[in-house]
Amino acid sequence: MATTSFPDASPRNENRATRTAPRTHRGITGSGTPRDDASSDICTAHASPGDLAVRAADSEFARQFGLSVREIRGAGLLDLLRTPVPARLREQFAALSSGRRRRFTERVTGRDETGRSFSAEITVTAVNRPSGEVATLLVLLRRPEDTQRPEKDHEPAPPGGPVLSALDAQVLEGVASGESTVQLASRLYLSRQGIEYRVGQMLRRFDAPNRPALVARAHALGMFAVGQWPPRVLPERVK
């Protein structure tokens, strides 16, 4: 495993690192490919690999959750970030902390200072010491521009296509990328019957006779982000 040196993790140095990280890491995709995306902002935090407590964060990262830089220190990432399948997110972090994985990207939700939910995407990377030990977890949080506006209690569904639950969106993304029922069940910690049920519901909802037709209908309705692989359902199509 390639290692990356990690400087002194004192609070002063961590704050310096997180202040400069948005410029350094802006436009990094989940695969590590640079991307110039002016419609999104990326903010950063460092977390302990063991207990996932926030060591340091830039002010923009803290602001997403209605906190100051000082207040967010010590907060648990799993308390700040939520997914439809919490066990999967915990396993992703465990794999990073143990060195079994280098990076992952996941769609999450959080709550701002008003208590409203927001959607975001995180990319978490394990940063190693020269010895190979995981020194810290670097968390990049990206909120698409249209999800940064406060939600309205009775905001109508966006026109042009249906709105899916977060879990159904992940199932649809898996179907679109060619995953089998067994693969989806394993990745999402669901039973095969649970996957089949959700796919069947979407087949009826999209009036599609089979999975390829379902994916084609979803593309035609503008459900997916353009030019992105693996396929991602647009945040405005996820409730």
Give the tens place of pLDDT for each residue, 171-189: 999 998 888 999 999 988 8
Per-residue pLDDT tens over the stretch 22-36: 343 444 333 333 333
As a whole number of angstroms, the distance between CA 100 and CA 94 comes to 8
Domain boundaries of the chain, sorted by first residue: 11-147, 166-237
Residue type, 14: E
Would the pTM of this model clear 0.75, i.e. be above it?
no
Please state the separation of Cα 81 from the chain's center in Å: 9
What pLDDT is attached to residue 203?
Answer: 92
Confidence class for position 54, pLDDT limits 50, 70, 90: very high
**Could you tell me which CATH class the domain 11-147 is placed in?**
alpha beta
Residue type, 149: R
At 57 the three-state DSSP class reads strand
Per-residue pLDDT tens over the stretch 141-170: 988 754 444 444 334 444 556 889 889 999
What pLDDT is attached to residue 11?
Answer: 44
Pick the CATH number of 166-237 from 1.10.10.10, 3.30.460.80, 1.10.1740.10, 3.40.50.920: 1.10.10.10
For residue 146, count other CB atoms closer than 10 A to its CB.
Answer: 13
